[in-house]
Structure 1
Amino acid sequence: MTRTLLLLLGLLAGAAVQAQRLDSASLAVLQQQQDSLQYLAYNILNGRTEDARRQSSDRFIPKLVQALKTKYSFDFPFDSIRSVSIQYPEDSTFRIFSWGLEMDNGFYHHYGAIQMNTKNGELKLFPLFDNSDYGNADTVAGNKAWYGCLYYKILQRHYFNREYYTLFGYDANNLRSTKKLLDMLTFKDGQPVFGGPYFSFAEDTVPKPVRNRFIVEYKKEATISLSYNPEMDMIVYDHLISATNEPGKPYTYVPDLDYEGFKWKAGKWVHIEKVFHDALERGKFPVQHPLDQRKKDLMHPQTAEEMEAEKAGRKRKNR
């Protein structure tokens, strides 16, 4: 029986048990508290002034903690709080709350918390303190020096009896640019650790140093993808170029219809410089306009190495 199947069976069994952990009285209390939290969360996002938004956020935090102190609150989804992201890993050992506060100058400050899924239902919570506006972004840090963002996905990987949680984050950043990022969450002695030497560029044409965190910054009006494709078993994201030929200014970066990616290998995300390769027929010249993305085989991308191996195989076959 595969590890994936065992994990799935375990999750199903766990869900059946957890469904019975919250009694009716606790459920009623949490539903009432959720109504108050929903109102405050809406104002965090939609308040007319920074002061109004900040006051709502300041009131939201203690009310959320109060709700989470209810025994087995982990089983309550808080799914009516639409403006706060709540993300779970595959093994459901924790969940992360995250949200952003827009300031009047167009910058964002983020808030968050990790709630652990405890067996006895007691609250174990790690508040997250946004440190992203200070110092080096390529850090390894605990919850008190968190690189703040809004999480939209958690991808779990297992390697050498350890769990690795890849966090996909979004940061509206400022008036000129937006950021998306990949961060790694691990636990050491029960404490959360963000970042680490898990993003490798050793296989690039020109190898670059390993990164503790991967961040892409791009023009505010642009739209880019940074996501996991299960058919490829790969993280894929847009390759970016400066629209004004100013590579030193990330706020000018836009997608160019090419893609890069990361492949999980031996406990690291290894960078793939070019996910898709469009081979030209002999005697034909490259087109002078963007390639039709619909003609790419999105389900079977090839790395440069795989293309060379396939080419060599055809040569041997034709001898």
Structure 2
Amino acid sequence: MVKKLLLSLCILAPALAVHAQRPDAAGHTTLRKAQDTLQRLSYEIFNGKGDAAREKATEQFIPTLVRALKTTYSFRFPFDSLKTVSIQYPQDSSFRIFTWALERETGFYRHYGAIQMNTRDGKLQLFPLFDVSDFITNTDTVTSNKAWYGCLYYAVSQRHYFNQEYYTLFGWDANNPRSQKKIVEMLTFKNGAPVFGGAYFSYAEDSVPGPVRNRFIIEYKKESTATLNYNKELDMIVYDHLISETNEPAKKFTYVSDMDYEGFKWKAGKWVHINKIFHDAIPLGKGAPVPMPLDQKKKSMMNPKSAEDLEPKGKPRQ
């Protein structure tokens, strides 16, 4: 039943950096064989009967993936047969990030992942991601790959500011039987190592200015849908304004969209909060992306997006 409530994930694979070479014939054969094994194991992680079967598949999946990625120039191999694993690339293809989820019989989730760097010599540089979200009491914090706020990433937006690259990650957490979450956070690299979060979400321009945040999270009703993504046409992050349908704001599992939209605009190295994106007079061709209810029975792990996210980019739903 829980899987029917999960949203589907679109795996992106943009053009790779010019300096990366392809694996040779032997390497390609090795990767194809590994992909077949990984495909079987990823299916078991998602569909295995009981926690023990899914955990066993996960324990086998991780070393199999690492061995495959040790193949020289494996970065150029897309692993596009892994339908329950998200593989996201930034615009510059300097890295790719693998994420996947393990559903427990209780309806709670644990996430797994890794960042593979695009190295010039084709050798593996990998940062495993360790999900500690169940133990993070303060979500507004900066973390490393060893203390990762686990989720399934479904989009990456890249920005350049003062000789540094900033990668905004958009993630989804199926969370628990009552609610789900969407997350946006900044990924940067310090001394070559990944850093998740940072003081990049500013509320300085609000009518009542609020403190800057290191990470932005929305939590809402399990059966509901909510937008949180980068809108290329508006050149900003757009998300649903949420309210409690039972007037119990302390209970996040009662939150649903009220059909209004907030967002963040990139200014001087920060995402600055915009309290209201669409007003009564909507400019021609800039219609609000009105969400369409999705058939819950057709949802799957492969697209954590609401209806407007599935529209062609640059063409918000009218």
TM over 0.5: yes
Give TM-score, length-normalised by structure 2.
0.83
Aligned-partner Cα distance in 2 for 1:179–1:151: 12
Aligned with residue 278 of structure 1, among 280, 284, 302: 280
- Asked whether the equivalents of residues 236 and 259 of structure 1 are also in contact (C-alpha less than 8 Å), the reply is yes
Unaligned runs of 5+ in 1: 1-10, 280-294, 302-319
**What are the Cα deviations for residues 176-214 of structure 1, in whole angstroms up to 9, with x where unaligned?**
000001011000000100000000111112211111000
Unaligned runs of 5+ in 2: 1-13, 289-318
Q: Specify the code of the residue in structure 1 equivalent to 2:185.
A: D
- SS in structure 2 of the partner of residue 45 of structure 1: helix
- Asked whether the equivalents of residues 16 and 93 of structure 2 are also in contact (C-alpha less than 8 Å), the reply is no
The 1:14/1:215 distance shift into structure 2, 3 A limit, reads closer
Q: Which residue is equivalent to 2:82?
A: 81
- Asked whether the equivalents of residues 95 and 115 of structure 1 are also in contact (C-alpha less than 8 Å), the reply is yes
1:172 aligns with 2:174: yes
Aligned-partner Cα distance in 2 for 1:182–1:158: 17
The answer to which structure, 1 or 2, has the higher relative contact order (CA under 8 A, 6+ apart) is 2
After TM superposition, give the deviation of residue 255 of structure 1 in Å.
0.3
The 1:110/1:277 distance shift into structure 2, 3 A limit, reads same
Q: Which residue is equivalent to 2:263?
A: 261
Q: Which residue is equivalent to 2:159?
A: 157
**1:21-32 correspondence runs (5 A):** 21-32=22-33
Q: Which residue is equivalent to 2:8?
A: none
- SS in structure 1 of the partner of residue 133 of structure 2: coil
The 1:182/1:298 distance shift into structure 2, 3 A limit, reads farther
Give TM-score, length-normalised by structure 1.
0.83
After TM superposition, give the deviation of residue 299 of structure 1 in Å.
2.3
Aligned with residue 299 of structure 1, among 286, 289, 300: 286
1:92 aligns with 2:93: yes
More helix by share: 1
**1:167-316 correspondence runs (5 A):** 167-279=169-281, 297=284, 299=286
Aligned-partner Cα distance in 2 for 1:182–1:132: 14
Aligned-partner Cα distance in 1 for 2:153–2:109: 14
**What are the Cα deviations for residues 45-87 of structure 1, in whole angstroms up to 9, with x where unaligned?**
1112111111111110000000000000001000000100000
- Asked whether the equivalents of residues 232 and 300 of structure 1 are also in contact (C-alpha less than 8 Å), the reply is no
Runs (4 or more) in structure 1 with deviation over 4 Å come to: 295-298
Aligned-partner Cα distance in 2 for 1:103–1:187: 32
Aligned-partner Cα distance in 2 for 1:14–1:43: 33
Q: Specify the code of the residue in structure 1 equivalent to 2:156.
A: I
Q: Specify the code of the residue in structure 2 equivalent to 1:232.
A: L
- SS in structure 2 of the partner of residue 31 of structure 1: helix
Give the RMSD, CA atoms, in angstroms. Answer: 1.6
Aligned-partner Cα distance in 1 for 2:69–2:121: 14
Q: Specify the code of the residue in structure 2 equivalent to 1:100.
A: A
Larger Rg: 1 or 2? 1
After TM superposition, give the deviation of residue 116 of structure 1 in Å.
0.3
Aligned-partner Cα distance in 2 for 1:59–1:12: 30
Q: Specify the code of the residue in structure 2 equivalent to 1:242.
A: S
Percent identity for Structure 1 against Structure 2: 66
**What are the Cα deviations for residues 17-39 of structure 1, in whole angstroms up to 9, with x where unaligned?**
54x53111111110011000000
- SS in structure 2 of the partner of residue 133 of structure 1: helix
**What are the Cα deviations for residues 103-130 of structure 1, in whole angstroms up to 9, with x where unaligned?**
1111101000000000001100000000
Q: Specify the code of the residue in structure 2 equivalent to 1:119.
A: R
The 1:300/1:221 distance shift into structure 2, 3 A limit, reads closer
- SS in structure 1 of the partner of residue 32 of structure 2: helix
Q: Which residue is equivalent to 2:122?
A: 121
The 1:47/1:196 distance shift into structure 2, 3 A limit, reads same
- Asked whether the equivalents of residues 15 and 93 of structure 2 are also in contact (C-alpha less than 8 Å), the reply is no
Aligned-partner Cα distance in 2 for 1:238–1:32: 43
| More moved, 199-208 vs 142-151 | 199-208
- Asked whether the equivalents of residues 108 and 172 of structure 1 are also in contact (C-alpha less than 8 Å), the reply is yes
**1:44-123 correspondence runs (5 A):** 44-123=45-124
Q: Which residue is equivalent to 1:317?
A: none
Aligned with residue 139 of structure 1, among 138, 141, 145: 141
The 1:57/1:257 distance shift into structure 2, 3 A limit, reads same
Aligned-partner Cα distance in 1 for 2:255–2:122: 46
- Asked whether the equivalents of residues 44 and 57 of structure 2 are also in contact (C-alpha less than 8 Å), the reply is yes
Equivalenced residue count is 274
The 1:88/1:140 distance shift into structure 2, 3 A limit, reads same
